[in-house]
């Protein structure tokens, strides 16, 4: 039977790092760590970084102002991250093209550069004149027609027509479809050469403000904006970027940007993120994917590395993926090693108190968190192997002090066994229903007689036993129904949370005393109050960061 170590145990901390039992436990877990690390890096570290980035994206404690500061600092770091800046600009173009469109409308030199010597772009933007019966000119065609009428004294002669003779403003004003006879390419080339006023005109600016022009050649504009960001420190571009970071969700930004960072840059981002995190000890938060990695981030002063974060996140949030990898034939060597570790741990006398032995050794706080995470994964692995029947699960609940309520599923029962299972409190309707059922029974009596013997031998309880069983558990306040597929992961996380909860207050007390000596006295008083209570009597609520402000 799997021991989950959920009971509140007091471990003696004598400061001896060479305690034999604890040292053996740690040695075995370190062996397991190397195996898991080989699994998650079998194809490089990029996948484990993606897992971590997706987890960080789940954080809900970062304010819009904080996320703006975080991502702007990434863009302004040295050396400049052109790849990241390009991705940000593409995201803005995709989701808020009008913001960039307003910037383009102000920069005539950029527009002239975009169209000069490029007939394809000229035709795409300026040749959208309306025909007979159509509502009106579009895009750059509308800008040319409007500007040409308003400024006909300086630009009408630059219009080039395809026919034998040109068109007068008066004729075209009454028949706008005549613009279809305009030689657009030559006309725009003339405007580039001889009509500079057009490129800074209100007519052209209005046609650009929706940002549709960005779709003609997105790469051109992205490259130009990157040059403007870093070469000219363009105030307009940076304002758009700042506003974008303020308005978008933290999740969206993380999913699209963090994966582009090299590992040192990702660690730098996470260290910057640390000061914006609000970690609470409310147990409702413990199941949030980003909670424990955030706790580890909060401990970055204790030398948590990128590898520590990648490993802990993989153990806690990708545990099923790791189990699938272990079963893969390609990783038979790792599977054999894990089985050896399990055998060694089961035979070792230290295994009866392993999590508490780990806590009792004075090691880096981050190391303790990681080792406890490894042990919770071992428990998940063992539960998956040893608990296959409803009876084995209920035995595990009872042994480990987890109260449960059965949730039976009768989906496999034939309809005839569920008939009449509704309420009988319907009065007249109920009586009428019974009469109808009685009549149907008489009509079908002869037809059903052939099945009586089979029904007599049919054991309803056997159907119930064969159906999947679920449980409501005290581990989450009976709030969710758990089946054998999800139970190993749920209980492993519950064990880890329990161990961490028993150890968290001491860790944070030490950190607060170290970082804010002037706030030590009130905190020590609070610590003394907690120390006088049993762990089960403590309400794990409130913000840990309150004492770090």
Instruction: Output the DSSP codes for 448-517.
Output: HGGGHHHHHH--HHHHHHHS-EEEEEGGGTT-SEE-TTTHHHHHHHHHHHHHHHHHHHHHHHHHHHHH-G
pLDDT score at 363: 63
Whether residue 303 is found in the same domain as residue 383: yes
Q: pLDDT class for 282, splitting at 50, 70, 90?
A: low
Say if residue 91 is in the same domain as residue 235. yes
72-76 average pLDDT score: 94
Computed over every residue of the chain, the mean pLDDT equals 78
Evaluated on CA atoms 360, 365, 370, 372, the torsion sign reads positive
Q: Which residue has the higher pLDDT, 437 or 71?
A: 71
Domain end residue (candidates: 240, 255, 270): 255
Residue 429 lies in a domain: no
Could you tell me which residue, 364 or 233, shows the higher pLDDT?
Answer: 233
In a 13 Å sphere around the CA of 261, the CA atoms on its Cβ side amount to 24
Sheet bearing 469-473, strands edge to edge: 404-408, 469-473, 481-482
48 and 122 housed in the same domain: no
Handedness of CA 314, 318, 323, 328 (dihedral sign): negative
Q: Is the pLDDT of residue 520 over 70?
A: no
Residues 134 and 232 in one domain: yes
Q: Which segments of 116-217 does DSSP mark as H helices, in order? A: 119-126, 139-150, 152-155, 169-174, 184-194, 196-199, 202-208
CA torsion 41-44-50-53 (nearest 10°) is 80
Q: Is the pLDDT of residue 169 over 60?
A: yes
Judge whether 495 lies within some domain.
Answer: yes
**pLDDT (tens digit, 9 = 90+) per residue, 420-474?**
333 333 333 344 444 444 455 554 444 444 444 434 343 434 434 444 789 999 9
Residue 224 lies in a domain: yes
Q: Does the residue 10 lie in any domain?
A: no
Is the same domain home to 203 and 76?
yes
* One domain, residues 151 and 98: yes
Domain residues for 217? 68-255
Say if 211 falls within a structural domain: yes
Which of 237, 255, 273 is the C-terminal boundary of a domain? Answer: 255
Task: Tell me if 335 is assigned to some domain.
Answer: yes
68-72, 278-282, 416-420: least confident range: 416-420
Same domain, 238 and 361: no
Least reliable range by pLDDT among 196-210, 276-290, 490-504, 505-519: 505-519
How far apart (Å, rounded) are the C-alpha atoms in residues 169 and 178? 10
Spatial neighbors of 397 by CB under 8 A, at least 6 apart, are 403, 404, 471, 473
User: Residue 19's pLDDT is what?
Assistant: 61
Contact 281, 542 (CB under 8 A): yes
Out of 220, 255, 290, pick the residue that ends a domain: 255
Same domain, 217 and 309: no
Is there a domain that residue 439 lies in?
Answer: no
Examine the domain organization and report whether 235 and 129 are in the same domain: yes
Q: Residue 355: its pLDDT value, please? A: 65
Residues 55 and 104 in one domain: no
What value does the mean pLDDT take over residues 478-505? 87
The number of folded domains in the chain is: 2
Cα distance between residue 59 and residue 285, in whole Å? 11
What backbone torsions phi and psi does residue 321 show, to the nearest 5 degrees? -60, -40
Residue 353 pLDDT = 56
Whether 149 is covered by a domain: the verdict is yes
Q: Are residues 379 and 520 in the same domain?
A: yes
Is residue 218 located within the same domain as residue 361?
Answer: no
From 196, 235, 230, 237, select the one nearest 111 (Cα to Cα).
196
């Amino acid at each position: 039977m799997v021991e989950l170590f959920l009971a509140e145990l007091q471990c003696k901390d004598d400061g001896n790092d060479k305690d034999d039992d604890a040292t053996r436990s740690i040695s075995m877990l370190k062996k397991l760590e190397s195996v898991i690390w080989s699994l998650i890096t079998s194809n490089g570290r990029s996948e484990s970084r993606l897992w971590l980035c997706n987890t960080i994206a789940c954080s809900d404690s970062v304010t819009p102002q904080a996320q703006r500061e975080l991502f702007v600092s990434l863009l302004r770091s040295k050396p400049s991250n052109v790849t990241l800046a390009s991705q940000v600009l593409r995201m803005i173009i995709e989701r808020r093209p009008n913001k960039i469109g307003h910037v383009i409308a102000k920069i005539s030199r950029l527009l002239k550069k975009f169209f000069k010597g490029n007939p394809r772009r000229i035709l795409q933007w300026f040749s959208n004149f309306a025909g007979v019966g159509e509502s009106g000119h579009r895009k750059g065609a509308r800008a040319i027609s409007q500007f040409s009428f308003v400024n006909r004294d300086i630009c009408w002669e630059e219009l080039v027509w395809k026919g034998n003779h040109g068109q007068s403003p008066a004729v075209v004003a009454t028949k706008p479809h005549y613009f279809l006879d305009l030689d657009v390419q030559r006309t725009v080339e003339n405007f580039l050469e001889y009509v500079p006023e057009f490129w800074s005109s209100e007519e052209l600016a209005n046609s650009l403000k929706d940002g549709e022009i960005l779709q003609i050649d997105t790469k051109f504009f992205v490259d130009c904006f990157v040059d403007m960001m870093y070469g000219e420190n363009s105030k307009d571009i940076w304002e758009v970027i700042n506003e974008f970071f303020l308005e978008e969700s933290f999740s969206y930004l993380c999913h699209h940007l963090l994966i582009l960072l090299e590992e040192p840059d990702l660690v730098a981002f996470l260290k910057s993120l640390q000061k914006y995190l609000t970690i609470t000890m409310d147990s409702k938060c413990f199941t949030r994917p980003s909670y424990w990695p955030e706790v580890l981030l909060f401990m970055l002063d204790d030398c948590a590395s990128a590898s520590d974060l990648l490993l802990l996140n993989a153990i806690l949030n990708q545990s099923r993926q790791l189990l699938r990898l272990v079963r893969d034939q390609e990783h038979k060597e790792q599977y054999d090693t894990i089985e050896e570790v399990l055998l060694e741990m089961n035979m070792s006398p230290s295994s009866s108190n392993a999590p508490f032995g780990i806590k009792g050794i004075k090691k880096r706080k981050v190391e303790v968190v990681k080792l406890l995470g490894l042990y919770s994964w071992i428990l998940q692995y063992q539960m998956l192997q040893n608990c296959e029947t409803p009876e084995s699960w209920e035995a595990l609940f009872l042994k480990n002090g987890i109260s449960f309520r059965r949730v039976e599923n009768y989906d496999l029962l034939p309809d005839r066994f569920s008939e009449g299972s509704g309420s009988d409190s319907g009065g007249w309707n109920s009586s009428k229903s019974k009469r109808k059922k009685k009549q149907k029974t008489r009509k079908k009596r002869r037809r059903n007689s052939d099945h009586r013997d089979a029904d007599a031998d049919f054991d309803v309880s056997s159907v119930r036993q064969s159906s999947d069983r679920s449980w409501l558990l005290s581990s989450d306040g009976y709030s969710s129904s758990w089946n054998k597929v999800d139970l190993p992961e749920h209980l492993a996380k519950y064990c880890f949370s329990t161990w961490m909860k028993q150890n968290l207050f001491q860790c944070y007390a030490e950190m607060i005393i170290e970082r804010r000596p002037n706030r030590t006295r009130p905190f020590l008083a609070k610590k003394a109050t907690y120390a006088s209570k049993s762990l089960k009597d403590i309400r794990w609520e409130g913000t840990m960061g309150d004492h770090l402000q």
